[in-house]
Amino acid sequence: MELGLQDRVCVVTGSTAGIGLEAARILSAEGARVVVNGRGEEGVAKAVDEVGAALGVAADVSEAEGVETLISTTEDTFGRVDCLINNVGYARQVDFMAVTDEEWNSLWQLNVMSYIRTIRAVLPGMRERGYGRIVNVSSTAGKRPSTGMPDYTVTKAAVLSLSRLVADIYTKDGVLCNAVAPGPTASPAWLAEGGLADQLSVKSGKSREEVLKGVGGGRPIGRLAEPEEIAAVIAFLCSDRASYVTGAAWSADGGTVPVIL
């Protein structure tokens, strides 16, 4: 199926690993001019080489200056942004009462404000051209709260609301905005040393292997997602094949959330 992504300029935040890296890989394979992003120069350079991206920009998008660097560098290089994929984010296991005000604010800056700022930065150009695709990566936790990740849950719910809001305001200008809500995914967030699997292991007293088996088995599909499975949904929503899709929150969770939303 021809997705119509040839030469589209696609910015993917948090794309040096996991879902973001795989989204960059698929978009690049479809002929898009992909801009990968991460905090470190080394990781960005490695991702550019790995996926054949057109450009890499090292910038911390949890800060306004980082967003300005990312979007202005892209526009200076290519003249526009056609597709924005907001993927950057962080999750951890923590008790609700243990999250400090500073930690709430820090995660809000990364998981929500980075999305708001990047969207504000690309909207003028998208509206002027009458074309744009915005895909925001949320989570099943945004649809059904995860009690073990309270700050993450609240920020991902905000991403769903933001996505619908932007769609409601700007679809008439040709800017389509959607969210993707993945379930647990076999990405570094879960599998890396000290990641969510290790955190749950410490919390539950179970082995890492038992945790991963239990988390995967808790999905109707019976396993964790692979990053490329989520990335394929993102690529579709960026494509011309999704020209009548806006304001949606696409579950890509193996049936995790047992309601129709």
CA-wise closest residue to 163 among 97, 84, 218 = 84
Count Cβ atoms below 10 Å from residue 191 Cβ, excluding itself: 16
Looking at residue 258, what is its pLDDT?
84
Tens digit of pLDDT for each residue in 164-179?
A: 999 999 999 999 999 9
Gap between the Cα atoms of 223 and 232, Å rounded: 17
Gap between the Cα atoms of 111 and 250, Å rounded: 18
Q: What are the start-end ranges of the E strands in the chain?
A: 9-12, 33-38, 55-58, 83-86, 132-137, 175-182, 249-252
Longest Cα separation, the chain: 55
Looking at residue 113, what is its pLDDT?
98
118 three-class SS: helix
Q: What are phi and psi of 132, to 5 degrees?
A: -175, 150
Residues 6+ away with beta carbon under 8 Å from 6: 30, 31, 32
Tens digit of pLDDT for each residue in 92-114?
A: 999 999 999 999 999 999 999 99
Q: Which run of H or of E encompasses 6?
A: none
Active-site residue, 244 included: no
38 three-class SS: strand
Looking at residue 260, what is its pLDDT?
73
List helix spans (H) across 61-194: 64-78, 101-108, 114-129, 140-143, 150-170, 188-191
State which residues of the chain have pLDDT below 70: 261
Give the HSE-up count for residue 128: Cα atoms under 13 Å, Cβ half-sphere: 8
Gap between the Cα atoms of 27 and 6, Å rounded: 9
Looking at residue 228, what is its pLDDT?
98
Give me the catalytic one of 90, 115, 152, 244.
152
Q: Which domains does the chain have, with CATH numbers?
A: 9-183+225-249 (3.40.50.720)
Instruction: Report which residue type is found at 178.
Output: N
User: Do residues 42 and 117 touch, judged by C-beta distance below 8 A?
Assistant: no
Gap between the Cα atoms of 65 and 49, Å rounded: 25
